[in-house]
């Protein structure tokens, strides 16, 4: 009987061991399971992190001027011919066939991967420096008066093309080129931080944008961007480059015509792209001014990114027909992404109306007034 009991116990033990081996994972299986679970948790955590990061990006700080109720579409304000052809003044005797439909702001073949202001809006800017009435309208008026007039001008563009409501923008010269080398020998004078702060706050209080314009002297584009980094990290602040004031060592701004290589512009575009990504900022704009061939070379090096929009701005003054033709030459025919067009209240003959500006090919995404 005792032997029988021992035999029964042995069989029971074997059954239990077999049962346990079937239901208990090996160390290797257990480690693999833990690793897979950890990977799933990491992937889930990374998704949540990206989601949280996206949600942390500030909403746009600007607000467009809504078209008035009786504003009619741009296409209803032009002759049938203008729907298919650019203005004769812009063509200057050449083929008038439009490359893009009337009112379209992207140049032919370009796209916009950003969520930047130019994607669905048009920007109307007042340009200049508060210390000088000779450098633009910004220096001719007190801040509140300036904003009132700027909003009025912006409203005119929203009404001229209701499909693309316009946003007011201040274009402040943050680096003023000068003929004296200055204390650092770079032939520029920086606008005081207090003045930049003042106009930054003015723009923010009025749901507008601020664009900081650099007149480089002998300094590099990238170094100027770095000097302005404090303000460029603000959601409503963007960058403009005045190419004609970038001179070589031994030359003088205002005496010698300056020049910027597109590769230098691209360095700034890339720097701002990384700034946007690292600081979860709304997408930025880089505006590049040009009024002569020599002022901007190697344009093919300038490439917009998924975080930075780029606009080429024709900023010459004088006869309106000549200006329209040069816009065609520098912006339409040497396209990057968007076009800009500067108007001089006191020097252009005549001063073009919003409707006359908007029928250019492509329609300017940025119109700045000096």
Q: What is the DSSP string of 43-105?
A: HHHHHHHHHHHHHHSPPP----BPPPTT---GGGSS-HHHHHB--HHHHTTS--B-SS-TT--
In a domain, 63, yes or no: no
In the DSSP assignment, the letter for residue 133 is: G
Distance CA 272, CA 105 (A): 22
Distance CA 105, CA 161 (A): 12
In a domain, 296, yes or no: yes
In a domain, 313, yes or no: yes
Q: Look at residue 227 and give its three-state secondary structure.
A: helix
Q: What is the predicted pLDDT for the residue at 293?
A: 83
In a domain, 285, yes or no: yes
In a domain, 154, yes or no: yes
CATH number at residue 121: 3.20.20
pTM of the entire structure?
Answer: 0.83
In a domain, 143, yes or no: yes
User: Mean pLDDT over residues 156-166, rounded?
Assistant: 97
Average pLDDT, the chain: 85
Name the residue range of residue 284's domain: 103-369
pLDDT digits (tens, 9 = 90+) for 351-363: 999 999 999 999 9
Q: Work out how many domains the chain is built from and give that number.
A: 1
In a domain, 32, yes or no: no
- C-alpha closest to that of 338 among 137, 161, 110: 110
Q: What is the predicted pLDDT for the residue at 316?
A: 87
pLDDT of residue 259 exceeding 80, the answer is yes
pLDDT digits (tens, 9 = 90+) for 24-37: 443 334 444 444 45
Provide the pLDDT confidence category of residue 6 given band limits of 50, 70 and 90.
Answer: very low
In a domain, 91, yes or no: no
Q: What is the predicted pLDDT for the residue at 248?
A: 78
Q: What is the predicted pLDDT for the residue at 216?
A: 84
User: Mean pLDDT over residues 48-56, rounded?
Assistant: 46
User: Mean pLDDT over residues 44-62, rounded?
Assistant: 54
């Amino acid at each position: 009987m005792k032997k029988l009991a021992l035999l029964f116990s042995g069989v029971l033990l074997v059954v239990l061991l077999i049962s346990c081996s079937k239901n208990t994972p090996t160390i290797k299986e257990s480690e693999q399971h833990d690793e897979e679970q950890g990977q799933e948790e990491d992937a889930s955590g990374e998704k949540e992190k990206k989601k949280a990061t996206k949600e942390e990006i500030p909403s746009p700080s600007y607000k467009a001027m809504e078209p008035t109720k009786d504003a009619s579409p741009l296409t209803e304000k032009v002759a049938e011919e203008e729907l298919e052809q650019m203005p004769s003044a812009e063509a200057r005797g050449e083929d008038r066939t439009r490359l893009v439909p009337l009112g379209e702001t992207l140049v032919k073949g370009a796209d916009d991967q950003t969520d930047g202001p130019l994607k669905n809006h048009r920007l109307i800017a007042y340009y200049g420096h508060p210390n000088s009435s000779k450098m633009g309208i910004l220096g001719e008026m007190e801040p509140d008066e300036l904003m009132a007039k700027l909003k009025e001008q912006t409203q005119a563009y929203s009404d001229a093309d209701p499909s693309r409501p316009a946003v007011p923008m201040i274009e402040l010269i943050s680096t003023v080129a000068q003929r004296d080398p200055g204390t650092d020998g770079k032939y520029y004078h920086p606008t005081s931080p207090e003045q930049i702060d003042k106009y930054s706050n003015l723009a923010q209080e009025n749901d507008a944008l601020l664009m900081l314009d650099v007149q480089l002297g002998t300094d590099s584009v990238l170094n100027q961007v770095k000097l302005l980094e404090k303000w460029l990290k603000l959601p409503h602040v963007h960058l403009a480059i005045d190419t004609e004031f970038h001179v070589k060592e031994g030359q003088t701004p205002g005496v010698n015509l300056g020049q910027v290589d597109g590769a230098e512009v691209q360095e700034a575009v890339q720097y701002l792209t990384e700034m946007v990504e690292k600081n979860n900022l709304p997408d930025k704009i880089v505006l590049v001014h040009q009024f002569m061939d020599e002022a901007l070379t190697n344009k093919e090096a300038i490439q917009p990114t998924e975080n930075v929009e780029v606009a080429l701005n024709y900023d010459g003054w004088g006869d309106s027909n000549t200006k329209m033709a040069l816009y065609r030459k520098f912006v339409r025919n040497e396209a990057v992404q968007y076009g800009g067009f500067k108007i001089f209240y006191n020097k252009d003959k005549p001063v073009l109306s919003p409707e006359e500006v908007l029928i250019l090919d492509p329609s300017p995404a940025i119109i700045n007034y000096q």
